Amino acid sequence: MNLSAVLLALSLTAPIQLGLAPIAPVSAQEATITTLTPAQAKAATELLLKALSEKDASTIFKTLAGSIQTNVTVEKIRQRLDARAAITSGRINTISPGFSDTTVDAVVNTAEGEKPLILILDEDGKLLAWKWVGETLPIETSALRFTEELAAGRWLKARSRLQIDFQRELAPGDLERKWTKLERVSGGFRKIKDAVIASQGGEQQLVLVSVEFGNATTNLFVIFDANGRIINVDISRDFV
């Protein structure tokens, strides 16, 4: 999958990016929540849940962010829907705006019982990633462990989980500075919710780690190479 559109908008501002143009940093006081309103997020999610219950692959495809559409087809979506238990209904539990995206916790009802679902929407209300809670793949586990080290202040341990060339460019102090600023502006760390794969199987794989703070729930973008090594991390475009 070509992640350039996602990374250009959401990449780190330090000069450790993969050849991407840096974004001008802003101060912590200028950091703003996503422009997508909770009402817009609710409408987008309700449309998606309805499409899931009707196995409407075409509508689901239209709800995807452009960077995700390039890696999937309507037929692939239809095959995934057919492989899962039929969904009879769904409901939204919480909508949590972040700094560049919105995390929605939902539940769907199936013949196998209730299934919790996490959805991540971009600022246009398009779907960046989604996941059935409880299903975790290896790169999701790796992204979660990395984030857990950050949350615990284990900067050296977190850095050791990065691909060696990335380690050379990113000092433990860089991780500490970015995470500490994010935590301070966001109202303090509360918990790591889950990890969601947005892209896998290619030269670049993208995992979004949903983190709940006091004032916002935001997502860390953790980028892996084809061998499952972390080659870039976006803590937030607003934090340098």
Q: Please give the torsion angle defined by the CA atoms of residues 69, 75, 77 and 81, in that order, rounded to the nearest 10 degrees.
A: 170
Query: What DSSP string describes the chain?
Result: ---HHHHHHH--SSTTSSSPPPPPP--GGG----S--HHHHHHHHHHHHHHHHTT-HHHHHHHB-HHHHTT--HHHHHHHHHHSPPEEEEEEEEEEE-SS-EEEEEEEEETTEEEEEEEEE-TTS-EEEEEETT---HHHHHHHHHHHHHHTT-HHHHHHTB-HHHHHH--HHHHHHHHHHHHHHTTSEEEEEEEEEEE-SSSEEEEEEEEEESS-EEEEEEEEETTS-EEEEES-TT--
Domains of the chain (ranges; CATH) run 4-21+136-234 (3.10.450.590), 38-132 (3.10.450.50)
Please give the chain's pLDDT, 240 residues, in tens: 333 333 333 332 222 222 222 222 333 334 567 889 999 999 999 999 999 899 999 999 999 988 778 778 899 889 888 888 888 889 999 999 887 889 999 999 988 889 898 898 999 999 988 888 877 778 999 999 999 999 999 998 999 899 988 888 888 888 899 899 889 888 899 999 999 988 887 788 899 999 999 988 888 999 999 888 999 998 754 444
Rounded Cα–Cα distance for residues 127 and 62 (Å):
9
Q: CA neighbours within 13 Å on the CB side: how many for 189?
A: 18
Amino acid at 231: I
Condensed to tens digits (0 to 9), the pLDDT of residues 53-87 reads: 999 999 999 999 887 787 788 998 898 888 888 88
